[in-house]
Amino acid sequence: MLNRIFAIAKKELKQLSRDTRMLFIIFFFPVVLLIIFGYAINFDVKHIKIAVYDQDKSDYTREYVNGLISSEYFDLVTYVQDESEIKRLLDEKIVQAVVVFPNDLSRKLLSKQEVKVQYLIDGVDGTTASAIQNYVNAATYSYSIKLTKEYLAVTGKNLYVPIDLQPRFWFNPELQSTKFLIPGLMGMILIVTAVISISLSIVREKERGTIEQINVSPLSSFEFILGKTIPYIFISLINATIVLVAGYILFGIVIQGSLLLLLFGTLMFLFAALGLGIFISTVADSQQVAFQAANVTSLLPSFILSGFIFPIKTMPIAIQVLTNVTPAKFYVVILRAILLRGAGISAFWDQLIYLGIFGTIFITLAIIVDKRSKGKN
Amino acid sequence: MNAIEVNNLTKKFGAFTAVDNVNFTVKQGEIFGFLGANGAGKSTTIRMLIGVLEPTSGDALVGGHSIMKDPEMVKRNIGYMSQKFSLYNDLTVAENIRFYAGVYGLDGKKYEERKKWVLKVANLENMENTLTSSLPGGIKQRLALGTAVIHEPKIVFLDEPTSGVDPISRRNFWDLINDLSAGGTTVLVTTHYLDEAEFCNDIILINAGKIVAQGNSKELKTNYIKNPILEIETDRTVDSLEILEKEKWVGETSVFGNYIHIILNDDTITEKNIIQLLQEQNGINVKRVERIVPTLEDVFIHLIEKDNK
């Protein structure tokens, strides 16, 4: 039995070594995805372009603006000279926000009255707009405190601020979105290559008629599938290694947890992903159909529903239930725990069980469909 | 002892009966021809006999094993090759041989010996590392047969092995089948080339899922057509055919190139009557009229037309 499985695995590798298209999908695709997602998709809002309409032109306004642009969050693009220009700057997306200081700002400050500073923020991209709002709030708040302190110092008093907030971000102290994205990306790359490669390799035998010769031979379906799967497990592990090494070199991601647990978690994930691929191969009759089905069932859900980019907890309940269609969801939890937090198995043992259930369901379905089709053609 | 015994084998796909209560036996070591038009039920029957398709009812013993109860034992003891030549085009000759040897658990000395044999029968002795996709059809076909019998099965099923191959390759291929048979292997072959049927020890003809004739080629020619057959050659084939078909004493007609074959309903009609009808009454120049022994083609057209009525 081992000999027969080995014969299939060896044959599969030989065929793969001559299939440049498939090799391209398996090894080049992950690198491209990694670079695109690692560099191009960046959710960190920095270097916001602002313009200033300063009608007061006082020390106060200069100091305020300096406070803004001394951080890396804001870049001062220009000073606006009259009101009509504001509309043009925002319309043509030259700036993302405009600060408007009223002409009575310094007068009011000196007479201890409240001052209103207006911010005009481009609200088209809601995420960026609310990030801008948070930054200007913080900047304005600290400048206000500074002014209060100065005022009180003149009268000989100290400002008493009862609570001083000291936030510290664990596991990803600089809140880099790449750190958050890489584990999800790894899940997505592995599921896409695993599902596509295994389903295409089985369907190709159907399409070319070679499956007929296999069916007549003493090979059992189990030996056939196992022989086919083994090479792709190794290839997926190589892929995972490529992503991890690239993640370290390009984005400085260091594996915090145990490599052995990572390997085990990855194998469980591959069991689920290959189960899905094997199921697709029993339903699809041509490589085209299999490729489409593999794409639709692996790429899209792992992108949208895995929690890779969009947090699952904020989704409506119905969608949250739907997220279970992709094993990437469970794997992303495992990866984040191991890669970023260095957590032990207690943090994700339940996810391993879900992966096991997922794989078992699809392999069982594949067996049922396969048995049914035996009596037919 | 019989290599294959088929008992009341039936296969239905929904309301359609593809194989209808078929019975036959194949003797050990013979070449058994399985003839019929496309869609007659040949491939369905074979697929049941090799254990990949479950019969609706009935059973068959292949090499002594029941296809219903023990399809796995059947698979171990047979070889199978189909019209698609199930070789991997993206593997080399040697890799294909290695793979099928591995599937049948051959290794060591036995493997080396069989590999040599396959390369010899396929005429590929110095081309082990050629990619299979670049081989000509005839060679591919021989390689496919070689790999299909790499484990030296007692019974081999060939499903239209020669379709789409040139005549010389076909002839060479039949030499190979004869060699296998001479070595004691039972060969069951389906074909729709009737000249190939002449090479078979025994033949059955299947139409619409039912056996319509059975026997060796001599028996088929003498047992199924009792009426005399005339072969006629004229210089106006189509016109002659139209005239002949109007006569009551003409049973069936068929055209083979410039020749017309007619089966007579009336024993008293002779060559002279034909010449009289065509040449004297209709002015068609008759080159030749001859009473002939029916060919297998005559027999099969006759039987299938009769069956379809």
Tokens of A220: 């059992």
Task: Tell me the pLDDT tens digit for each residue of B183-195.
Answer: 999 999 998 888 8
Domain residue spans of chain A: 2-41+176-374, 48-154
Contact A15 B75 (CB under 8 A): no
Please answer whether residues B142 and B121 qualify as being in contact, where contact means their C-beta atoms are separated by less than 8 angstroms. Answer: yes
CB within 8 Å: A216 and B80: yes
> With an 8 Å Cβ cutoff, are B102 and A213 in contact?
no
Q: State whether B39 and B98 are in the same domain.
A: yes
3-state class (DSSP) for residue A53:
strand
> Which residues in chain A are closer than 8 Å to B102, comparing Cβ atoms?
3-4, 6-8, 10-11
Boundary of a domain, candidates B216, B243, B261: B216
The number of distinct structural domains making up chain B is 2
**pLDDT digits over A64-113, tens only?**
998 888 888 889 989 988 888 888 988 888 899 999 999 888 888 888 88
Q: Residue B54: pLDDT above 60?
A: yes
**How confident is the model at residue B24, as a pLDDT?**
94
Does the pLDDT at position A376 exceed 60?
Answer: no
- The CA-CA-CA angle for residues B92, B119, B111, to 5°, reads 85
For A363-367, what is the mean pLDDT?
Answer: 89
* Interval B13-33 mean pLDDT: 92
Asked if B103 lies within 8 A of A218 by C-beta distance, the reply is yes
- pLDDT-derived band at B39, boundaries 50, 70, 90: confident
Q: Which one of B47, B86, B107 makes the best mutation probe of the A interface by having the most chain A beta carbons within 10 Å? A: B86
User: What count of Cα atoms within 13 Å lies in the side-chain half-sphere of residue A350?
Assistant: 3
Cα–Cα distances in Å, from B7 out to A183, B10, B55, B61? 62, 9, 11, 8
Question: Is the same domain home to B43 and B172?
Answer: yes
The CATH number assigned to the domain with range A48-154 reads: 3.40.1710.10
**Residue of chain A with shortest Cα separation from B50:** A216
Nearest CB to B105: which of A4, A8, A19? A4
Q: Which of A327-331, A373-377, B120-124, B268-272 shows the lowest mean pLDDT across its residues?
A: A373-377
pLDDT higher than threshold 70 for residue A373: no
Domain identity same for B195 and B284:
no
Residues B68 and B104 reside in one and the same domain? yes
What is the end-to-end Cα distance of chain A in Å, rounded? 27
Return d(Cα B113, Cα B122) in angstroms, integer. Answer: 15
E strands of A203-270, at which residues?
A: none
pTM above 0.95, yes or no: no
| A4 CB within 8 Å of a chain B CB | yes
Residue B106: which CATH number?
3.40.50.300
Residue B159 shares a structural domain with residue B188: yes
DSSP assignment of chain B, as one string?
-EEEEEEEEEEEETTEEEEEEEEEEEETT-EEEEE--TTSSHHHHHHHHTTSS--SEEEEEETTEETTT-HHHHHHTEEEEETT----TTSBHHHHHHHHHHHTT--HHHHHHHHHHHHHHTT-TT-TTSBGGGS-HHHHHHHHHHHHTTT--SEEEEESTTTT--HHHHHHHHHHHHHHHHTT-EEEEEES-HHHHTT-SEEEEEETTEEEEEE-HHHHHHHS--S-EEEEEES-HHHHHHHHHHSTTEEEEEEETTEEEEEES-TT--HHHHHIIIIIIH---EEEEEEEPPPHHHHHHHHHHHHH-
Structural domain range at position B255 = 226-293
Looking at beta carbons, which residues of chain B come within 8 Å of A217?
Answer: 75, 100, 103-104
Q: Does some domain include residue B112?
A: yes
- Predicted local confidence at residue A251, as pLDDT: 82
**Where is mean pLDDT largest: A180-189, A230-239, B223-232?**
A230-239
Q: Mean pLDDT over residues B261-271, rounded?
A: 82
**Residue B192 and residue B98 share a domain:** yes
In which band, very low, low, confident or very high, does the pLDDT at B287 lie, cut at 50, 70 and 90? confident
Strand partners, B60: B6
With a cut of 80, say whether residue B72 has pLDDT above it.
Answer: yes
Say yes or no to pLDDT of B138 above 60: yes
Please indicate whether residue B7 or residue B166 has the higher confidence score (pLDDT): B7
A to B CB pairs, distance under 8 Å: 75
Most confident of A266-275, B78-87, B300-309: A266-275
Give burial (CB, 10 Å; 0-12/13-18/19+) of B272: exposed
- Asked if A207 reaches chain B (Cβ–Cβ under 8 Å), the answer is no
Q: Say which amino acid occupies A22.
A: M
DSSP annotation of A211: H
Within a domain: residue B170?
yes
Spatial distance between the Cα atoms of B220 and B226, rounded to a whole number of angstroms: 11
Which residue, of B195, B216, B237, is where some domain finishes? B216
Provide the mean pLDDT of chain B: 89
Q: How far apart are CA A75 and CA A95, in angstroms?
A: 9
CB contact under 8 A, A4 and B102: yes
Same domain for B231 and B157? no
Whether residue B53 is contained in a domain is answered as: yes
Closest-CA residue of B relative to A219 is B103
Q: How many C-beta neighbours within 10 Å does residue A205 have?
A: 19
* Contact state of A218 with B75 under an 8 Å Cβ cutoff: yes
Q: What is the CA radius of gyration of chain A?
A: 29
* DSSP notation for A196-207: HHHHHHHHHHHH
The more confidently predicted of residues B206 and B225 is B206
Do B89 and B194 reside in the same domain of the chain?
A: yes
Average pLDDT in the A333-349 region? 89
Q: Is the pLDDT of residue A358 over 80?
A: yes
Domain CATH code at residue B250: 3.30.70.100
Q: What is the mean pLDDT of residues B76-95?
A: 89
Tell me if B90 and A214 make a contact (CB, 8 A cut-off): no
Residue B67 belongs to a domain = yes
**Rounded CA gap, A323 and A326, in Å?**
6
Q: How high is the mean pLDDT of chain A?
A: 87
B23 and B151 co-located in one domain: yes
Average the pLDDT over B167-173 and give the result.
89
Q: What is the pLDDT, as a whole number, of residue B196?
A: 85
* Higher-confidence position of B253 and B131: B131
| Torsion sign across C-alpha atoms B36, B41, B45, B46 | positive
Q: Determine whether the interchain pair A7/B98 forms a contact, defined as Cβ–Cβ distance below 8 Å.
A: yes
Residue of A nearest to B96 (CA): A11
What is the structure's pLDDT at A377?
A: 46
**CA A131, CA A43: separation in Å to the nearest integer?**
10
The reply to whether B307 falls in a domain is no
DSSP per-residue letters across B149-217: TTT--SEEEEESTTTT--HHHHHHHHHHHHHHHHTT-EEEEEES-HHHHTT-SEEEEEETTEEEEEE-H
Residue in the structure block whose two tokens are 């189960």:
A275
Question: Do B288 and B263 sit in the same domain of this protein?
Answer: yes
What's the confidence (pLDDT) of residue B216?
87
A141 interface with B at CB cutoff 8 Å: no
Nearest to B174 by CA among B206, B150, B198: B198
How large is the average pLDDT for residues B293-298? 82
How far is residue B270's CA from residue B249's CA, in Å, rounded to a whole number?
11
Average pLDDT (B25-36) is 92
| Torsion-angle region of B303 (φ positive above 0: left; ψ -120 to 50: alpha; else: beta) | alpha
The Cα–Cα gap between B130 and A54 comes to 80
Confidence of residue A184 (pLDDT cuts 50, 70, 90): confident
Dihedral-angle region of residue B64 (phi above 0 means left; psi in -120 to 50 means alpha; beta otherwise): left
What residues pair up with B259 in beta bridges, in sequence order? B233, B256
* Domain end residue (candidates: B216, B234, B268): B216
Cα–Cα nearest to A117, from A167, A164, A50 = A50
Average the pLDDT over A213-242 and give the result. Answer: 90
Question: Does the distance separating the beta carbons of A15 and B102 come in below 8 Å?
Answer: no
- pLDDT the model gives residue A374: 60
